[in-house]
Amino acid sequence: MESDLNIKYIAELSRLELSDEQSAKLQQEMERIVGYIDELKELNVDGVEPTAHAAPLSNVWREDEATASYSRQEMLENAPGVINDNLIKLPRVLPQEEA
Amino acid sequence: MNISTATLHELAAELKAGNLSSVELCQSCLDAVAQRDGEIGAFLEINQDNVLASAKAADERRASGNALSDYDGIPIGIKDNISVKGERCSCASKILENLTSPYDATAVERLRKQGFIPFGRLNMDEFAMGSSCENSAFQKTRNPLDTTRVPGGSSGGSAACVAAGFAPAALGSDTGGSIRQPAAFCGVVGMKPTYGRVSRHGLVAFASSLDQIGPFTRDAEDCGILLDAICGFDKMDSTSLPDAAGGFADAARAGAATGSLKGMKFGLPKEYYSGGIDAGSAKVLDAAIEKVKSLGGEIVDVSLPHTKYAIAVYYIIATAEASANLARFDGMRYGCRIEGSDLTDTYFKSRGNGFGDEVKRRILLGTYVLSSGYYDAYYLRAQKVRTLIRKDFENAFNACDMMLTPAAPQVAFKFGEKSDPLQMYLSDIFTISLNLAGSCGIAVPAGVDENTGMPVAMQLLGPAMAEAKLLQATAAFMRA
């Protein structure tokens, strides 16, 4: 399990573009870090409940009431691209149909 | 009075007596920044006009008998991952370089309710990932006490701001020591409150089960004053604790008044004293323990048997949470977008270009430990060991009121000294377990390392909800 760390595959899952040089460096660094965290495997954790969260809270409910939110205009000010002053402009999601 | 070293309560008294106006105070802070921040680099930006306009409004309120609190008109530095409405919030990252906050973080909103003035955006390690501020995409921050050394991180700008005399106090955030370690490196007080004590609404998420906002100040009372201002339940953060919160400044005042630690038990976890800290820091810590005894505190031995696993657990859980939290930065709705050949390519390019090396490393590690086939071996196992670490803390607190430990293995190090990422991670050994346990801790200036002249802190670690006791002890210790 230690040796099959494939940085290019993980970068793909992470949606991170890496240069070949970066990949090589990260591959090396990550192998060392993963080697270090592997020390957890020596510990017997049978029957131990996992901790997801430190606060002793479970479901927190509120009334389902509509309240005013931020204005569309304000939120759009941070968008990289805007259409008609009220929509976020995105790159094409589906491939273009052939004519 | 010397504004560059004054505490919040001293400034409040001067404002109340009419010896000082908020405009004079803020202008003096702005002048200090203009004079020396070119060298220090604590601030990414300060909106002078906003600061002075807020100061003028505070003075007018006070003149008409309508001051919002004793602290109306006092400036507070804000780490750049905490939202201040109308100002940029970049997390020291290129991917958010031009993001303007549409709202105030709850902590900032609560500061404003008392008249505190948000004062500039403080530098940090990108997305709070780092221990030296060297991971900021924009600039270095230098330690005001020795500019060849780092201020610590990730809230290095906040610590440097308070230590350099730019503002009397600041807010930072602590995910694995990011308040306590820079406070230790810069010789100021820094507290990580109990998880859930302060709302995380408006704090840009790094690791949601560990992140907590907290104060940087010049003494314990100030720390209590700021915690009183920002604590408590918030409907915008369902993990904020519903418990009543407050009385923190009063607890510190009580400690300062008596100067006594009688009746308090301080545990020394043996795993934190088995070598691993430099000789100069050890000497200061020994003297601090003697001082605690001389003030009437009782010292007991305790044990945290799973300490050696804490860094591994932390770097699995924190990076797993980070990889999910930072997935939102995709260049679509906000932040930097670099157009690629199609949608996926745009994601790759925007994120590849927008994130720095350390952030990429942690996203990759987090993605790896959550990926198919590895989840059980790493993430689930780490969550189980987290339970063991929490139980270690619970057991230790059965035998003492709080633990007294080092805050860092050494004093502030020099730039570039820790260039290996794993080596940098290992330097967090004394701070990260507390975040995993979810309880509270404080870095307290304890003395100076005789070899370097740099400050050394002791760290007090308390059970959940024990901030008042920590502040009482801190105030008593710092008075003597």
User: Domain limits of chain B?
Assistant: 1-480
Q: Do A40 and B385 touch (CB under 8 A)?
A: yes
| Burial (Cβ within 10 Å: 0-12, 13-18, ≥19) of residue A83 | exposed
Q: Which domain holds residue A13?
A: 7-42
Q: Do B364 and A54 touch (CB under 8 A)?
A: no
| Distance between CA atoms of residues B433 and B277, nearest Å | 17
Q: Do A33 and B315 touch (CB under 8 A)?
A: yes
pLDDT of residue A98: 67
Q: Closest-CA residue in chain A for B207?
A: A53
H helices of B327-380, in order, are 343-354, 357-370
Cβ atoms of B121 and B90 within 8 Å: the answer is yes
For residue B243, the one-letter residue type is D
| Burial (Cβ within 10 Å: 0-12, 13-18, ≥19) of residue A19 | exposed
In chain B, which residues have their Cβ closer than 8 Å to the Cβ of A50?
380, 383-384, 386-387
Best A3, A12, A17 member to test B by mutation, with max B CBs in 10 Å, is A17
Q: What angle do CA B250, B228, B443 make, to 5 degrees?
A: 80
pLDDT of residue A97: 72
Which of A29, A41, A48, A50 is closest to A1 using CA atoms? A41
How far, in Å, are A68, B127, B216, B413, B440 from residue B181 at the CA level?
40, 17, 11, 12, 14
pLDDT of residue A2: 46
Within a domain: residue A84? Answer: no
Cβ atoms of B458 and B444 within 8 Å: the answer is yes
Out of B210, B343, B383, the one facing A93 most closely (by C-beta) is: B343
| Distance between CA atoms of residues B114 and B22, nearest Å | 14
Cα torsion A72, A75, A80, A82 to 10°: value is: 10
Q: Residue A1: which pLDDT band, with cuts at 50, 70 and 90?
A: very low
Cβ atoms of B454 and B185 within 8 Å: the answer is yes
β-sheet bridge partners, residue B324: none
Give the closest-approach CA distance of B422 to chain A in angstroms.
6
In chain A, which residues have their Cβ closer than 8 Å to the Cβ of B438?
53-55
3-state helix, strand, coil in chain A (%, to 5): 35, 5, 60
Q: How many CB atoms lie within 10 A of CB A70?
A: 9
DSSP labels, B220-253: HHHHHHHHHHHBS-BTTBTTS--S----HHHHHH
* CB hemisphere CA count around A36 (13 angstroms): 20
Asked if the model's pLDDT at residue A99 lies above 70, the reply is no
Q: Closest-CA residue in chain B for A46?
A: B384
Within a domain: residue A22? Answer: yes
DSSP B203: B
CATH value of B1-480 in 3.40.50.300, 3.50.50.60, 3.30.565.10, 3.90.1300.10: 3.90.1300.10
- Give me the number of domains chain A comprises: 1
Flag whether residue A80 sits within 8 Å of chain B, measured between CB atoms: yes
Flag whether residue A55 sits within 8 Å of chain B, measured between CB atoms: yes
Q: Closest-CA residue in chain A for B373?
A: A1
In chain B, which residues have their Cβ closer than 8 Å to the Cβ of A52?
209, 383
Within a domain: residue A49? Answer: no
Within a domain: residue A18? Answer: yes
Within a domain: residue A93? Answer: no
3-state SS assignment for residue B414: strand
Q: Is the dihedral of CA B93, B99, B103, B108 positive or negative?
A: positive
| Residue carrying the six token digits 């633990």 | B403
pLDDT of residue A12: 97
For residue B48, the one-letter residue type is Q
Within a domain: residue A47? Answer: no
In chain A, which residues have their Cβ closer than 8 Å to the Cβ of B346?
91
β-sheet bridge partners, residue B445: B457
User: What is the ipTM metric for this complex?
Assistant: 0.93
Within a domain: residue A89? Answer: no
Cβ atoms of B246 and B189 within 8 Å: the answer is no
In chain A, which residues have their Cβ closer than 8 Å to the Cβ of B437?
54
| Distance between CA atoms of residues B188 and B234, nearest Å | 28
Give the closest-approach CA distance of B90 to chain A in angstroms.
12
Q: What angle do CA B6, B12, B15 make, to 5 degrees?
A: 105
In chain A, which residues have their Cβ closer than 8 Å to the Cβ of B421?
29, 33
Which of B133, B147, B188, B230 is closest to B4 using CA atoms? B188
Q: Closest-CA residue in chain B for A22?
A: B357
Out of A52, A88, A91, the one facing B209 most closely (by C-beta) is: A52
Which of B315, B288, B280, B310 is closest to B412 using CA atoms? B280
| Distance between CA atoms of residues B430 and B131, nearest Å | 13
Flag whether residue A99 sits within 8 Å of chain B, measured between CB atoms: no
How far, in Å, are B236, B385, B422, B439 from residue B196 at the CA level?
12, 21, 29, 9
The per-residue pLDDT string of chain B (480 residues; one tens digit each, 9 = 90 and over) reads 899 999 999 999 999 999 999 999 999 999 999 999 999 999 999 999 999 999 999 999 999 999 999 999 999 999 999 999 999 999 999 999 999 999 999 999 999 999 999 999 999 999 999 999 999 999 999 999 999 999 999 999 999 999 999 999 999 999 999 999 999 999 999 999 999 999 999 999 999 999 999 999 999 999 999 999 999 999 999 999 998 889 999 999 999 999 999 999 999 999 999 888 999 999 999 999 999 999 999 999 999 999 999 999 999 999 999 999 999 999 999 999 999 999 999 999 999 999 999 999 999 999 999 998 999 999 999 999 999 999 999 999 999 999 999 999 999 999 999 988 888 888 899 999 999 999 999 999 999 999 999 999 999 999 999 999 999 999 999 997
Cβ atoms of B128 and B206 within 8 Å: the answer is yes
DSSP B195: T
Q: Is the dihedral of CA B202, B206, B212, B213 positive or negative?
A: negative
* Ranges assigned E (strand) in B256-411: 265-269, 298-302, 402-406
Flag whether residue A68 sits within 8 Å of chain B, measured between CB atoms: no
Can the peptide bond before residue A69 be classed as cis, meaning omega within 30 degrees of 0? no
Q: Closest-CA residue in chain A for B354?
A: A16
Give catalytic residues of B, as residue numbers. 79, 154, 178
